[in-house]
Amino acid sequence: MKKSTKIVHAGRDKKIFKNTANPPVIHASTIIADTYEEYVNIEKRTSPLMKYGRVGTTTTFAFEEAIKYLEDGDKTIIFPSGLSAISTAILSVVEKKSHILVSDSVYYPTRRFCDYFLKKMGVEVQYFNPIIGAEIQNLFKENTTGIFLESPGSLTFEMQDVPLICSIAKKNNIKTILDNTWATPLYFKPLKYGVDLSVHSATKYIAGHSDAMLGVVTSNEQSSQSLEKTSFELGIHTGPDDIYLGLRGLRTLKVRMNQHQRSGLIVAKWLEAEPQVSKVLHPALPNSPGHKIWKRDFSGASGLFGFIIKPEKNFNIEKMINSLNLFSLGASWGGFESLCVPTWPYQYRTINSVKHDGYFFRLSIGLEDPEDLINDLKKGFQYL
Ligand SMILES: Cc1ncc(COP(=O)(O)O)c(C=O)c1O
């Protein structure tokens, strides 16, 4: 089946959801068993297995099924946010005194979790240059149990050689986790490229309408047991209303992504030609350093990318941002509306993988007409 067909039908089990096209929202803490025998033999309850609200209802299972199917995984677990999906995936691959390798380009709160929580647990955290490639092997220690990747990286959009890193990790019995939020399950298939745990902030493109918080983790067979146990013991539960919004968003993901990709590239190419812009950070642009990897492994690009304005003293960045009408100033992305935010990636990096060589910005290109978006940016660029 083609991706656009899969996305319409995934998770819609006709045996369970007989009369509704959309799986209904089931709110429940208590789940009632029909008989004494069914109550004591909980494992024998009819499928899907509803035990207790915290471990999910049919709404949860429908979303899990849909994402698992799209990611070609063994198991998917839903989380109340992308960050809780990330932290649980990481906890599922570390033990006391483990050593974990984390890309220097990760989403800042991922880094904060590692620096605060993992270090408190006695886990050694080491950051590496996102474009390290095969040299990652030189960083392995006896106690290395996990590698955390994000490709392209947050704010600076470096591409990582995911299949290469994963194949080396596998030979050394090290688990790999990838934050795949940028590409969505449509444009990159992490498990097919050797990743053990694929993570998404479904708050972004999957929900797609800037009104829900959700995360998902999909595991391969070797990683499911630890993932399930970790999330179960942490008491992870996601409210059915947000899950419903995730499922609803998923149905239109393909058409939205086509548009985000198309408009994003139109705006990125326009920016490339602007004299005040020193760099456009978008892996689908042929001049981008990560372009070869993107072209080899990905089947598309989302609408999120960065650009750098030359560091001229008289540029009025504040006026530029405040003069934009269509681009809003908000710290998220992947919704139907366009966003433009200033960023400071060099402040967070610890191994000097980014130079502070201008004013950094991130654009999330929404579903507006790209010509209108360029005109809005032109207005702002008068102040540069
Ligand atoms: C790359 C990336 N991963 C994960 C997250 C966290 O997602 P959430 O906000 O749903 O916790 C974000 C949020 O901005 C992100 O940009």
At residue 30, the pLDDT reads 92
Give residue 153 CA to ligand 1 midpoint distance, Å: 12
Per-residue confidence band for 312, with pLDDT thresholds at 50, 70 and 90: confident
Cβ count within 10 A of residue 287: 9
For residue 163, is the peptide bond before it cis, meaning its omega torsion is within 30 degrees of 0?
A: no
Among residues 69, 104, 175, 179, the one annotated as catalytic is 179
Check residues 314 and 278 and name the one with the higher pLDDT. Answer: 278
Give residue 330 CA to ligand 1 midpoint distance, Å: 13
319 φ/ψ angles, rounded to the nearest 5 degrees:
-65, -40
337-349 average pLDDT score:
95
* Residue 353 token pair: 């993988």
Q: What is the pLDDT of residues 218-237, one digit of tens each?
A: 999 999 999 999 999 999 99
Atom 8 in ligand 1: residue holding the nearest Cα: 82
pLDDT at 48 over 70: no
Ligand 1: nearest atom to the Cα of 181: 1
177 φ/ψ angles, rounded to the nearest 5 degrees:
-125, 140
Q: Is 199 helix (H, G, I), strand (E, B) or coil?
A: strand
3-250: CATH topology = Aspartate Aminotransferase; domain 2 (3.40.640)
At residue 44, the pLDDT reads 64
For ligand 1, residues with CB inside 6 Å are 81-83, 107, 154, 179, 181, 201, 203, 213, 215, 332
CB-count burial class (<10 Å; 0-12, 13-18, 19+) for 32:
exposed
Atom 1 in ligand 1: residue holding the nearest Cα: 107
d(CA 259, CA 337): 12
Residues in a beta bridge with 216: 78, 200
Q: What is the pLDDT of residues 93-124, one digit of tens each?
A: 999 999 999 999 999 999 999 999 999 999 99
Mutate to test the pocket of ligand 1, among 201, 333, 362 (most ligand atoms within 8 A of CB): 201
At residue 127, the pLDDT reads 98
Give residue 45 CA to ligand 1 midpoint distance, Å: 36
At CB < 8 A and 24+ separation, what contacts does 192-196 make? 192/72, 193/162, 193/163, 193/166, 193/297, 194/162, 194/163, 194/166, 194/167, 194/169, 194/170, 195/149, 195/162, 195/166, 195/220, 196/93, 196/166, 196/220, 196/222, 196/223
179 is catalytic: yes
The pTM of this model reads: 0.96
pLDDT at 43 over 90: no
Mutate to test the pocket of ligand 1, among 81, 151, 181, 341 (most ligand atoms within 8 A of CB): 181
Q: List Cβ neighbours of 347 (8 Å cut-off, separation of 6 or more).
A: none
Check residues 285 and 312 and name the one with the higher pLDDT. Answer: 285
Q: What is the pLDDT of residues 58-74, one digit of tens each?
A: 999 999 999 999 999 99
Domain 254-381 CATH class label: alpha beta
d(CA 259, CA 226): 38
Ligand 1: nearest atom to the Cα of 215: 10
pLDDT at 46 over 70: no
Considering only CA atoms, give the Rg of the chain. 22
* Domain extent listing, the chain: 3-250, 254-381
Contact between residue 107 and residue 133 where contact means Cβ atoms under 8 Å apart? no
At residue 45, the pLDDT reads 60
Atom 15 in ligand 1: residue holding the nearest Cα: 107
pLDDT at 322 over 70: yes
69 is catalytic: no
366-381 average pLDDT score:
97
Atom 7 in ligand 1: residue holding the nearest Cα: 82
- Burial readout 257-274 (b: 16 or more C-beta within 10 A, e: otherwise): bebbbebbbbbbebbeeb
Contact between residue 378 and residue 323 where contact means Cβ atoms under 8 Å apart? no
Give residue 313 CA to ligand 1 midpoint distance, Å: 33
Give residue 345 CA to ligand 1 midpoint distance, Å: 15
Contact between residue 368 and residue 326 where contact means Cβ atoms under 8 Å apart? yes
At residue 156, the pLDDT reads 97
